[in-house]
Amino acid sequence: MELRPATAEESDAFSVAVLTAFHEELTDELRKRYLKIDEPERSLAWFDEGSIVGTSGLFSRAITVPGGAQVPFAAVTAIAVLPTHRRRGLLTGMMRGQLENIRDAGEAVAALWASEAAIYGRFGFGVAAQTLELSARRPAARLRTPPEPVTLRAGAAGEHVAAMRGIHDRVVPTRPGMLTRPGPWWEERLFDPESEREGATPLRAVVCDEGYALYAVKRKWDDDGPAAQVVVRELVSASPAGHAAIWAYLLDLDLTRTVTWELAPSDDPLWLALADPRALRRTLWDALWVRIVDVPAALSARTYASDPDVVIEVRDAFCPWTEGRYELSASGCAPTGREPDLVLEAAALGAAYLGGTTLLDLAGAGRVEERTPGSLARASAAFRGDVAPWCPEIF
């Protein structure tokens, strides 16, 4: 078998292989969608007698890190191996090749969403951001205090892109884990073919000066009357006032019984704003998995809540070029020959990178070893961000 990038001419065969592994089919709508965001030169695929049997891809994106910088990173996507070719090391070969390509491209960080959570830890990825699945029960779910009156604009999602883009651009630097959306990425976020709606209305938007939401409604009636579900795709607010105004609108839509959002920030304060917090069910899931590809560059790109003043030893059997000891301070990170204060695997470092998963928690799980007393608490406090990392889009 041969491992190489799939060409643009092989895009359909590549897409069919990916979708087959995920039990889906290639449609004209999906083909047009993929062509807008595809980077075939960044793919790697296994070919068996000319047929694609394993796939992996990368998107060139930028992610916010603690401190507000937008750092170029490789968004790992389209990882699949056909059932006929499993247990042969194809995934391992693709992941190693992709991480080497990411290193050679000068990107210090890679990240992905894991379809199966048990897979990617062995490749050095760690859970760096979590997400809340929210389900609000109407009419019990109402705000404790009515929001200040604001001007709301609602309508088809495509009518409000400029306003939403402006709010999104304001918020991105304030939240680690969020991605910039250049070029076709806003169009990708609004992708809404009828075949993907599962019975919901076309995607709509509600916007005010300080926030917006993308949502649809699944209409339903039962023996107790109207029972429609409001399905939120994205809600971004630049202030508490914006957050309250948008939620007040969503929780007051007539003929609806529930409001659900699968990808809320893990620290979303809605439950604290409700008169009855039990009217909101919250379920926590793993979200963005991060992999450090260049330790000094990645750790120097973000800022810290205080001076870490620590030497860390990184162990990395899968990408041995990252192994070593590094001196980390508020001014940056560089290799060192000094004895380590902390020892950890690459996956643990990736988990801590965005400031959400703490080094203290990782140590409690047996994934960080403290060699110098006091260094763990100091470094954990330094890595911690002001807000939880959040990635509102799956790539």
Mind telling me the catalytic residues? Answer: 120, 395
User: How many DSSP H helices and E strands does the chain contain?
Assistant: 11, 21
Q: Is 111 exposed, middle or buried, given 0-12, 13-18 or 19+ CB atoms closer than 10 A?
A: buried
Q: Which residue has the tokens 């109407």?
A: 138
What is the C-alpha separation between 312 and 310, in angstroms, rounded? 6
The string of DSSP codes covering 117-174 is TTSGGGGT-EE--EEEEEEEETTT--BSSPPPP---EEEEGGGGHHHHHHHHHHHGGG
- 4, 186, 231 from 301: Cα distances, Å: 31, 26, 36
Overall residue count recorded for the chain in this entry = 395
Nearest to 24 by CA among 191, 195, 184: 195
Contacts for 16-20 with beta carbons within 8 Å, 24 or more apart?
A: 16/52, 17/45, 17/52, 17/53, 17/54, 17/55, 17/80, 17/82, 18/55, 18/78, 18/80, 20/80, 20/82
